[in-house]
A = this chain, B = another copy of it.
Amino acid sequence: MSVLRVALAQCNPVLGDIPGNGSTVLRWSRKAVEAGADLVAFPELMLTGCPVQDLGLRSAFTSASLAGLSRLAGDLEAEGLGDTPVVVGYLDPADPADPALSAGEPGSVPCSAAAVLHRGEVAARYLKAPGSDLPAVRIRGVDVVLLVGDDLHGNAEPLATAGAGLVLHLSAAPYQVGSRPARKAALARLAAAAGAPVASVNMVGGQDDVVFAGGSMVVDPGGQCLAAAGLFTDDLLVAELTLSAAGAGGGPLRRLPRSTTVPDAPAPVPEAAPLLELPDIWRALVVGTRDYARKNGFATTVVALSGGIDSALVAVIAADALGAANVAGISMPGDYSSEHSKADAAELARRVGLDFRTVPIQPIVDAMPDVLRLDGIAAENIQARARGMILMAVSNQEDRLPLNTGNKTEYSCGHNTLYGDQVGGYAPLKDVPKTLVWALARWRNDQARRRGEPEPIPDRTITKEPSPELQPGQVDSELLPAPYEVLDEILAGYVEADLSRDELVARGASPAVVDQLIEMVERGEFKRRQAPPGPRVSRRAFGPDRRMPITNQFVPHGHRATYFPHAEPATGAGAP
């Protein structure tokens, strides 16, 4: 047996900032070497950030990635760190003419790759691609096999016969409810098959529509977690592992055949109850908001405060992410705003310590020309759009990131106003259904109480009945086809699990409610197409996860009466 000190550097790269990410690798490698590491590993695509989307199709980008890799190898050597192998994820242009790469490569399609940097050189490169072999690198007498991303699945067979001492897995796995136990189970399966521990280093941080969760870990063949890094935080996990020594054969670098069988699809993430993971979800929302702001150059934000629960929760997320002093909360009362709404908005701001302001909308609403003769939804929408205009004016004037306060139930039903309460640069609650909004608010207040701090969210904001307050006496329960508890259960089945109308009804939902809700979801697609990004926490978020046509006359219950008019929904409003 040999002892190896393995450092898993759980970092937060900035997408596209290859020099900056290289500096991060250098800084963390130094920390790892100071901690006595024999081997330092960074997440998948650490050097470029991810997901790169179509940026990866630009040859200037893959060239910069490759050049950054060589420069990083030289910098490590120059800083006296070259003797310790550093394994880092990057994007490879996958040039088939390069003899260092194995056969069967995908030509000029760039792909995620791992490199071993050692003594100033790129000692080994390895592509996550069909036909590329799995490299086994001998480090202090132990054969370490490299896997990247979903290589994790389907490669048990070659590992079982390889005599690996350690499997090193570079990962960039976005958070979603239930993903952590699923990932641990996959690592345990692989460790059992390989007969060796698996060390998996995962990315951390927010990038547009996803949040990487961290939670790097080492799992042994018995399924035990030997060491684990923090969740949603930068972390350097150093684990001293006792591992099987390599046999007499082989050299410093071997290549194992990749599994020739079709890889298993990654096991689907189980349907987890979000309530079990409230702390994780909270941190995902805070990190997503913090990183969207920070990585796009915003130190401050602005939130519209209605006195309702959604805007209250977004304000607390923003305060946790950027500091309360950096969050402007704007109360924008109109003629139909209740006294309790105005009071609750002010009270929230006071408790959290926001930069609070009040800007009435009525002068703008009243300035709409009489010639337009607005009534009904058109008139309601003016109130929401006046608020959107003020929010954006504050954003533009003060360089503040405007946060959107819509929740997933609202986005599902189209229960919001395009260019009104739908404005914003980032939508922290876009993937959080209304019932989960309440649960998170209660949880966050509870956390404060436990820490001896004042509860940030006024009790009345949590307990009162939601209303868009665009007409006298309006309440959500009369505008929507069922109570939020019912809606959210149906929507989880329809949007996240692709259940059919009949399957939803078979689970006990009212056919009338299901039909009405499905129609609302499909009608709302044109608005979602213009929505800001927000962090995914569920099995499926709106946005890149779910590409639906806008023009769509498919009605699953079969009785299509008319084409859907597409202007605005049954109610044109929501908070704020």
Q: What is A's interface to B at a CB cutoff of 8 Å?
A: 14-20, 51-55, 57-61, 64, 207-208, 291-292, 295-298, 357, 359-360, 363-364, 366-369, 371-378, 381-382, 385-386, 388-390, 392-397, 399-401, 418-419, 423, 425, 498, 500-502, 526, 529-533, 544, 546-556, 560, 562-568, 572
* 7 additional A-B residue pairs with CB within 8 Å, beyond A60-B556, A207-B551, A378-B396: A16-B552, A292-B551, A368-B393, A378-B397, A389-B419, A395-B568, A396-B568
Q: How far is the CA of A295 from the CA of B295 in the complex (A)?
A: 40
With A498-B59, A567-B399 in contact, do A20 and B364 touch (Cβ < 8 Å)?
no
Which residue of the partner chain, among B207, B394, B500, B563, contacts A60 with CB atoms under 8 Å?
B500
Q: How far is the CA of A58 from the CA of B388 in the complex (A)?
A: 35
- Complex interface: chain B residues within 8 A of A17 (CB): 553-554, 560
A369 touches B373 (CB 8 A): no
Main secondary structure of the interface of A (DSSP, over half): loop
Write 20 A-B pairs (CB below 8 A) sorted by A numbering: A16-B555, A17-B560, A20-B553, A59-B500, A61-B554, A208-B551, A296-B565, A297-B563, A297-B565, A363-B369, A366-B367, A372-B393, A373-B397, A374-B397, A381-B393, A385-B392, A386-B389, A396-B567, A401-B566, A530-B532
With A14-B553, A292-B551, A498-B57 in contact, do A364 and B359 touch (Cβ < 8 Å)?
no
Residue of B nearest to A362 (CB): B367
- Complex interface: chain B residues within 8 A of A388 (CB): 385, 419
A549 touches B51 (CB 8 A): yes
Q: How far is the CA of A359 from the CA of B32 in the complex (A)?
A: 66
The distance from the CB of A269 to the nearest CB of chain B, in whole angstroms, is 16
What 9 A-B pairs have minimum CB-CB distances, sorted nearest first?
A16-B554, A297-B563, A367-B367, A378-B396, A17-B553, A60-B500, A378-B397, A296-B566, A297-B565
Q: How far is the CA of A357 from the CA of B418 in the complex (A)?
A: 24
A296 touches B564 (CB 8 A): yes
A60 touches B15 (CB 8 A): no
Q: How far is the CA of A208 from the CA of B296 in the complex (A)?
A: 30
Which residue of the partner chain, among B377, B546, B553, contacts A396 with CB atoms under 8 Å?
B377
The distance from the CB of A115 to the nearest CB of chain B, in whole angstroms, is 19
Residue of B nearest to A554 (CB): B16
Residue of B nearest to A527 (CB): B425
The distance from the CB of A60 to the nearest CB of chain B, in whole angstroms, is 4
With A393-B372, A396-B378, A532-B529 in contact, do A15 and B554 touch (Cβ < 8 Å)?
yes
B554 touches A64 (CB 8 A): yes
The distance from the CB of A109 to the nearest CB of chain B, in whole angstroms, is 11
The distance from the CB of A419 to the nearest CB of chain B, in whole angstroms, is 5
User: How many copies make up the complex?
Assistant: 2
Q: How far is the CA of A208 from the CA of B55 in the complex (A)?
A: 24
Q: How far is the CA of A394 from the CA of B371 in the complex (A)?
A: 10
Residue of B nearest to A57 (CB): B498
Which residue of the partner chain, among B15, B501, B544, B562, contacts A553 with CB atoms under 8 Å?
B15
Residue of B nearest to A14 (CB): B553
A208 touches B550 (CB 8 A): yes
Q: Which of A366, A378, A400, A502 has the most CB of B within 10 A?
A: A378
A392 touches B373 (CB 8 A): no
B399 touches A393 (CB 8 A): no
A208 touches B549 (CB 8 A): yes
The distance from the CB of A576 to the nearest CB of chain B, in whole angstroms, is 15
The distance from the CB of A412 to the nearest CB of chain B, in whole angstroms, is 15
B399 touches A372 (CB 8 A): no
Q: How far is the CA of A2 from the CA of B506 in the complex (A)?
A: 55
Q: How far is the CA of A502 from the CA of B17 in the complex (A)?
A: 19
Which residue of the partner chain, among B364, B555, B560, contacts A364 with CB atoms under 8 Å?
B364
Residue of B nearest to A293 (CB): B566
Q: How far is the CA of A132 from the CA of B18 in the complex (A)?
A: 44
Residue of B nearest to A544 (CB): B547
- Complex interface: chain B residues within 8 A of A64 (CB): 554, 556
Q: How far is the CA of A548 from the CA of B61 in the complex (A)?
A: 13
The distance from the CB of A205 to the nearest CB of chain B, in whole angstroms, is 10
The distance from the CB of A292 to the nearest CB of chain B, in whole angstroms, is 6
Which residue of the partner chain, among B54, B549, B556, contacts A546 with CB atoms under 8 Å?
B54
Q: How far is the CA of A568 from the CA of B399 in the complex (A)?
A: 9
- Complex interface: chain B residues within 8 A of A397 (CB): 372-376, 378
- Complex interface: chain B residues within 8 A of A16 (CB): 549, 552-555
B389 touches A60 (CB 8 A): no
The distance from the CB of A323 to the nearest CB of chain B, in whole angstroms, is 18
A372 touches B392 (CB 8 A): no
The distance from the CB of A77 to the nearest CB of chain B, in whole angstroms, is 22
A372 touches B394 (CB 8 A): yes
A374 touches B399 (CB 8 A): no
Q: How far is the CA of A268 from the CA of B545 in the complex (A)?
A: 28
Q: How far is the CA of A563 from the CA of B389 in the complex (A)?
A: 26
Residue of B nearest to A363 (CB): B367
